[in-house]
Amino acid sequence: MSQRAVVTAGTGGIGLETAKGLAERGFAVTVVGRNAERGAIAIERITAVATGAAPHFVAADLASLDQVRALAAHLAAEGPLSVLVNNVGAMFAQRQQTVDGIEASFAVNHLSPYLLTELLLDQLRAGGPSRIVNVTSAAIKAAKRTFDAVEPPGGYYGFHWYGRAKLANLAYILHLAERLRGTGITVFAADPGGAATDMTNGTMTSPKIVSPALRLLWPLLRRAFERSTDGTASDAARPSIFAATDASLDGQTGLLIGPEIRPVPAFRGATDPQAIENVLRLSRQLAPLRDGSGIQPR
């Protein structure tokens, strides 16, 4: 019987290529996205390369915490899980709030994968040895490192706020790796490098995503963004596929897999104890776990 793998935002971009890579390696892959039509096309493409059980699509908007909870319940009912790739991520040119009234960068890039992971720990334990892979970004380097509140002080700049939410998620995932040590669940972060996808071809073309000081350098920055995201989604999926499946990582946990498909040092800030404590406090407050649906993170 095929082992089960879930890839969020798996119907396009890097997520679809990750899903194809896992299906090629014999996993029964479930991909999550919002758009059913895109989901159906993705399933055709994944089926064409699958060597194990048939792939499935599940619709969920991961910007909604209720939909994340419903997705977790649906996936949990399907039984043990061996791989969870939290690939969802988004950058917003303008400040947006989700249906839960939470700033969207923080909700989609951190709270959603946080909540889904916590709610699926029992299934990952049952499917062990299992792996959790969260997709991170080098944008972390341009992030404000304060997590006293969801929104950092100062104006909204999509690129910086995206990087900050990814930093929050990396801090959480590295802490989770330690928390789960010895349980049969190992935890990795994967940095895809850059790829030309909907995200990079869309939001990253607006100078509004960077702070006013950096906007003065926009033509240079835009070229740098273009150069750093001109790769293919299939190359950018390789760190996630490696983190999810490679035997050389057996028994290891808490590693960041870089674009060159090998472990690299975690970005500074992600291991800062104060940042971890604040990220966990915000996560518990904004995305509380309901009784019986998972274990409360320490």
Ligand X SMILES: NC(=O)c1ccc[n+]([C@@H]2O[C@H](COP(=O)([O-])OP(=O)(O)OC[C@H]3O[C@@H](n4cnc5c(N)ncnc54)[C@H](OP(=O)(O)O)[C@@H]3O)[C@@H](O)[C@H]2O)c1
Considering beta carbons, is residue 31 or 255 the nearer one to ligand X?
31
**Which listed residue (2, 26, 41, 61) binds ligand X by CB under 6 A?**
61
> Least Å distance between CB 137 and ligand X?
4
The 10 Å Cβ neighbour count of residue 42 is: 24
- Tokens at 252, concatenated: 């290891």
| Separation in Å, CA 204 to CA 86, 92, 196 | 21, 9, 10
Burial of 219 (0-12, 13-18, 19+ CB in 10 A): exposed
Q: Which residues contact 50 (CB under 8 A, 6 or more apart)?
A: 23, 24, 29
> Least Å distance between CB 9 and ligand X?
3
> Least Å distance between CB 177 and ligand X?
18
- Treating both helix axes as pointing N-terminal to C-terminal, what angle do 158-179 and 112-119 enclose, rounded to 10 degrees? 20
Position 297, amino acid: P
162 is catalytic: yes
**Neighbouring C-alpha atoms within 13 Å toward the C-beta of 223:** 3
Going residue by residue from 65 to 104, which x/- string records binding to ligand X, judged by CB under 6 A? Answer: ----------------------xxxx--------------
- For position 55 contacting ligand X by CB under 6 A, the verdict is no
- For position 239 contacting ligand X by CB under 6 A, the verdict is no
Considering beta carbons, is residue 99 or 216 the nearer one to ligand X?
99
- For position 121 contacting ligand X by CB under 6 A, the verdict is no
Considering beta carbons, is residue 148 or 230 the nearer one to ligand X?
230
What are the φ and ψ backbone dihedral angles of 29, each rounded to 5 degrees? -100, 135
Considering beta carbons, is residue 181 or 227 the nearer one to ligand X?
227
Residue list 7-26, contact with ligand X (CB under 6 A): 9-15
Out of 114, 157, 162, 172, pick the active-site residue.
162
CA distance 254 to 256: 7
Residue list 143-202, contact with ligand X (CB under 6 A): 192, 194-195, 197-200
Considering beta carbons, is residue 130 or 134 the nearer one to ligand X?
134
What are the φ and ψ backbone dihedral angles of 188, each rounded to 5 degrees? -135, 155
Cβ atoms of 289 and 118 closer than 8 Å: yes
Binding window for ligand X (CB under 6 A); candidates: 34-42, 260-268, 271-279, 287-295: 34-42
- For position 235 contacting ligand X by CB under 6 A, the verdict is no
Considering beta carbons, is residue 33 or 52 the nearer one to ligand X?
33
Residues 252, 256, 258, 260, Cα dihedral to 10°: -10
Q: Which active-site residues does the annotation give?
A: 162
Contacting positions for ligand X (CB under 6 A): 9-15, 32-35, 38, 61-63, 87-90, 108, 135, 137, 192, 194-195, 197-200, 229, 233
